[in-house]
């Protein structure tokens, strides 16, 4: 029997899963905080209605995008996270699989990797994940990725090299999902890459 796919996320047992993961965002929303910054940015950028939420977790971003009228598919490696997503929005398409190797269908107009997805994939698979995301969009399609920039971790320059090798060009980079300006050395980045013709 084949071993299940692994990642930095699945290899950790100290991270909240499912309903426990959702509680943080429910508390933020109850306090009046906007918990849909990723969906708002994606909705304003997407060149079309078809979106892949790659590393969708419990579906927070995907469900909000669907509420805004987009046709969304969620893909995640963690079965417990997907169980929560399916419970909240059974009408959406949820796929369990590794981002580096799972075909989610498509084509999609935009692929979003929110919530630090690229720093939680299996070590050494970042380029494969970026290439798989690039392959899911046609020419002109977008790949949007946000993640913490940590010492010794995956960095924006590495993302740009992997994106270029996968046929993507950098369009914009910000330090937040609400488009605060990016400056090198910042602790968080949101990058938008477009698929070349």
Please provide the DSSP assignment of 15-72 as one string. S--HHHHHHHHHHHHHTT----HHHHHHHHH-SSSEEEEET-TTSHHHHHHHHTT-EE
- pLDDT at residue 197 greater than cutoff 80: yes
Q: What is the mean pLDDT of residues 127-141?
A: 98
- pLDDT at residue 80 greater than cutoff 70: yes
Q: Is 100 helix (H, G, I), strand (E, B) or coil?
A: coil
Which residue would you say has higher pLDDT here, 9 or 20?
A: 20
Asked if residue 137 lies in contact with residue 107, where contact means CB atoms within 8 angstroms, the answer is yes
Q: Give me the pLDDT at residue 100, please.
A: 95
- pLDDT at residue 87 greater than cutoff 60: yes
Q: Burial of 30 by CB count in 10 Å (0-12 exposed, 13-18 middle, 19+ buried)?
A: exposed
Q: Which of 12-26, 45-59, 75-89, 94-108 has the lowest mean pLDDT?
A: 12-26
The DSSP letter of residue 158 is H
Helix orientation angle between 37-45 and 60-67, rounded to the nearest 10 degrees = 50
Q: Which percentage of the chain shows pLDDT scores above 90?
A: 78
Which residue would you say has higher pLDDT here, 20 or 103?
A: 103
Question: Half-sphere exposure of 130 toward its Cβ, with a 13 Å CA cutoff?
Answer: 29
Q: Is 152 helix (H, G, I), strand (E, B) or coil?
A: coil
Asked if residue 116 lies in contact with residue 156, where contact means CB atoms within 8 angstroms, the answer is no
Q: Which of 120, 115, 90, 95 is nearest to 105 (CA)?
A: 95
pLDDT band of residue 1 (cuts 50, 70, 90) is very low
pLDDT band of residue 115 (cuts 50, 70, 90) is confident
Q: Give me the pLDDT at residue 179, please.
A: 96
**Tokens, residue 72:** 């969304």
């Amino acid at each position: 029997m084949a071993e299940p796919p692994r990642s930095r996320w699945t290899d950790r047992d100290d991270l909240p899963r499912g309903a426990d993961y959702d509680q943080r965002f429910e508390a933020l929303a109850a306090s009046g905080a906007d918990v849909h910054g990723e969906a708002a940015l994606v909705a304003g950028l997407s060149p079309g209605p078809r979106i892949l939420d790659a590393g969708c977790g419990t579906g927070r971003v995907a469900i909000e995008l669907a509420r805004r009228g987009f046709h969304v598919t969620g893909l995640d490696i963690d079965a417990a996270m997907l169980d929560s997503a399916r419970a909240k929005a059974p009408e959406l398409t949820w796929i369990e699989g590794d981002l580096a190797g799972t075909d989610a269908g498509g084509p999609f107009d935009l692929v979003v990797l929110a919530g630090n997805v690229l720093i939680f994939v299996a070590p050494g698979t970042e380029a494969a994940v970026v290439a798989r995301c690039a392959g899911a969009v046609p020419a002109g399609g977008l790949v949007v990725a946000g993640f913490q920039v940590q010492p010794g971790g995956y960095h924006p320059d590495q993302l740009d090299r992997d994106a270029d090798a996968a046929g993507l060009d950098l369009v914009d980079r910000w330090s937040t999902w609400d488009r605060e300006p990016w400056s090198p050395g910042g602790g968080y980045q949101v990058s938008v890459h477009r698929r070349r013709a």
